[in-house]
Structure 1
Amino acid sequence: MTTYTLPSTVHSDIEIRKSRFLGIVMPVESRDAAMHQLQALREQHPGAAHVCWALLAGGQSGMSDDGEPSGTAGRPILEVLRHHELDGVLGAVVRYYGGIKLGAGGLVRAYTDAIALALKDAVRIERIARSDLIVALEYADEARVRRWIEQMHYELAEACHGEAVRLVVRLPSDRLADARDELLTLTDGRALLR
């Protein structure tokens, strides 16, 4: 299944019956990064009644109603993120309470709308799973392999020089098997791959 992420944070700001809902959707790499961003949001909005959120980040998901009635905030945010096929994102809504109760249905609509509005014109980019391929090779093969890395638009994540050259190549996971074959061909079978 293809998933998408965002290149940058998107926002919305809506008012519903005197309550203000600030929708924020931002790219994050992990649950830890998301928790750090939530803490920053709480510090930026000390007067907010609630900071509700949902997270989808490479199998690390979660959500919180942050004091709102159960199922009225975190779940609706999560459903909007899933509807947009997002991963590697944190969706949060900061609510400033306006004194008028909205009821469960009103809250679900408000939290859904705040995130959906933030994502309305958002640019999505395809999220590609990446793997690291560790290559040990002779010095004589290094220049040829480095050229291949550039031509294939892979990332050289690390290079160590000792008795042999050790390269860590970051590439799309679905290219791993082909890359192994290409490297063995390129080095006449001399490369050691992990």
Structure 2
Amino acid sequence: MDDTYKTINTPGEETLYKDKNSKFYGYAFPVTTEDETKQIITKLKKQHHSARHWCYAWQIGIEQTRYRVNDDGEPSNSAGQPIYGQILSYDVTNILIIVVRYFGGVKLGVGGLINAYKTSAQLALEASTIVEKTIDVHFEIVFEYKDMNKVMRIIKENNLSIIKQNLELNCKIYISVRKKFIDKIKNAFSSLYEVEIKKVKDLD
């Protein structure tokens, strides 16, 4: 089972690519929502307020991905799609790549633009630290205080991460389980008498 994905944890270094007096500044940002992408693009437009184009592509999601490309006034498919092509090439997700262009007075033609935006996106990715993460699922374990030792033993034996816990008379522990170990962990807890385990949506 493939239960890993690649992304970036922190924004990459700013990069610069030049072609016939045009300057292309490349940026890569980690994102998990479309709102985040909009905020970053707005901020970058203020930072580069005298630029001509702010072209971008993003991909969000792990097992089901969504993406968007934007040519921002450049000829159709000459900017956003080449940027997105690099996201696919590097097999990364939860990422936004923006290329800001300052026009240098000389037209590059569609072929030249495709190459410039592709290269700029590639440089932005190369200037970022790409990390591999596991796909994790969250579970809630509900049990009585008297069963605490049995529950904690399974957690320790399997090196499970506790996300949060509420240890009163009726105890609740929320754990994170790597996708490929789900069946094993569910069976371990289900075999305990009076202990309930159920999948929960991502926790804040």
Q: TM-score, normalised by structure 1?
A: 0.88
2:199 pairs with 1:191:
no
2-structure distance, mates of 1:176, 1:150: 16
2-structure distance, mates of 1:41, 1:150: 45
Q: Match for residue 86 of structure 1? A: 92
2:158 pairs with 1:158:
no
Paired residue total: 192
Deviation, 1:8, is 2.2
Alignment of 1:47-66 (within 5 A): 47-58=50-61, 59-66=65-72
With over 3 angstroms needed to count, the CA separation of the structure-2 counterparts of 1:148 and 1:39, relative to structure 1, is farther
Deviation, 1:108, is 0.4
Task: Note the residue ranges of structure 2 that are not aligned, 5 or more in a row.
Answer: 199-204
| Secondary structure class of the residue paired with 1:79 | helix
Q: Match for residue 126 of structure 1? A: 132
2-structure distance, mates of 1:150, 1:7: 28
Identity of aligned pairs, percent? 27
With over 3 angstroms needed to count, the CA separation of the structure-2 counterparts of 1:136 and 1:75, relative to structure 1, is same
Partner amino acid, structure 1, of 2:21 = K
Task: Note the residue ranges of structure 1 that are not aligned, 5 or more in a row.
Answer: none
| Secondary structure class of the residue paired with 1:32 | helix
Question: Which residue, 66, 70, 74 being the options, matches 2:80?
Answer: 74
Q: Match for residue 202 of structure 2? A: none
Q: Is the 8 A contact 1:133 1:176 kept in 2?
A: no
Instruction: Describe the superposition over 1:135-184 as per-residue Cα deviations: whole angstroms up to 9, x where unpaired.
Output: 10111233553464355443322323454111221222222211111223
With over 3 angstroms needed to count, the CA separation of the structure-2 counterparts of 1:103 and 1:132, relative to structure 1, is same
Q: Is the 8 A contact 2:145 2:168 kept in 1?
A: no
| Secondary structure class of the residue paired with 1:48 | coil
Q: Is the 8 A contact 1:12 1:115 kept in 2?
A: no
Partner amino acid, structure 2, of 1:3 = Y
2-structure distance, mates of 1:153, 1:123: 27
With over 3 angstroms needed to count, the CA separation of the structure-2 counterparts of 1:155 and 1:47, relative to structure 1, is farther
Q: Match for residue 186 of structure 2? A: 180
1-structure distance, mates of 2:44, 2:148: 47
Partner amino acid, structure 2, of 1:128 = T
With over 3 angstroms needed to count, the CA separation of the structure-2 counterparts of 1:46 and 1:149, relative to structure 1, is farther
Q: Is the 8 A contact 1:23 1:118 kept in 2?
A: yes
Question: Which residue, 5, 8, 29 being the options, matches 1:6?
Answer: 8
1-structure distance, mates of 2:159, 2:87: 30
Question: Which residue, 77, 87, 110 being the options, matches 1:104?
Answer: 110
Deviation, 1:89, is 0.8
Task: Say which is worse superposed, 30-39 or 14-23, in terms of deviation.
Answer: 30-39
Partner amino acid, structure 2, of 1:4 = K
Deviation, 1:60, is 2.3
Q: Match for residue 33 of structure 1? A: 36
